Amino acid sequence: MPKKFAQRWMPNHNKIRNHKALRCFGRLLHDPCLWHLNRHSLAKACFVGLFCAFLPIPFQMVVAAAGAIWLHANLSVSVALVWLTNPLTMPPIFYLAYKVGGWILLLPEKEFHFEPSLEWVLHSMSLIWQPFLLGCLLLGLLSGVLGYIAIQWLWRVRVMNRWEKRHKS
């Protein structure tokens, strides 16, 4: 993956440093490793961001930021990838997570009738939390590992193609 292409889509790091949800990290956000864009920082950021996207918790961006700081990954990519699960994509992704968890635990699928209320959500979660949580963690790990491998591979292929092009010239 070419560095210039990725940098075009990167937000300003000063804007992210001053984001109200990320201020809790204070001086940790001044680490230059969090803003560098290379093969390893981008691949680690993809792992962190994709894994955190599948966590069924509020404030996924803060968890992704903590993971990026801990692993010295690119912070802005980690935080941006969390938005893979947004209000439009969350229901099908989390339903898939429930199905995967139920399949692994060999549990029959429970029939339900949707009601848009907090009571319904809390009651349903008390019944399906085990397969749902297992599916979320497995899909998060799988997507994170696949994202890590894909970035490493794509970056390497791009560099090799440039080397070949340079040697032909």
Encode pLDDT of 103-122 as tens digits: 999 988 777 777 778 887 78
pLDDT at 123: 83
Model confidence band, residue 169 (pLDDT cutoffs 50, 70, 90) = confident
* 102 Cβ neighbours under 8 A, 6+ residues apart: 108, 109, 128, 131, 135
Give the predicted TM-score (pTM) of the model: 0.83
Greater pLDDT, 13 or 90 = 90
CA 97 to chain centroid: 15
18 is in which domain, residue-wise? 3-108+115-168
Lowest average pLDDT, out of 123-132, 133-142, 146-155, goes to 123-132
15 backbone φψ class: left, alpha, beta (φ>0; ψ -120 to 50)? alpha
CB distance 18 to 52 below 8 Å? no
pLDDT at residue number 1? 47
* Number of domains present in the structure of the chain: 1
CA distances (Å), origin 98, targets 52, 55, 112, 122: 17, 12, 13, 15
d(CA 98, CA 117): 19
Integer Cα distance of 103 and 139 in angstroms: 13
Residue 139, pLDDT > 50, answer yes
CB atoms within 10 A of CB 44: 24
Percent of all residues in the chain with a pLDDT value above 70, rounded to a whole number: 89
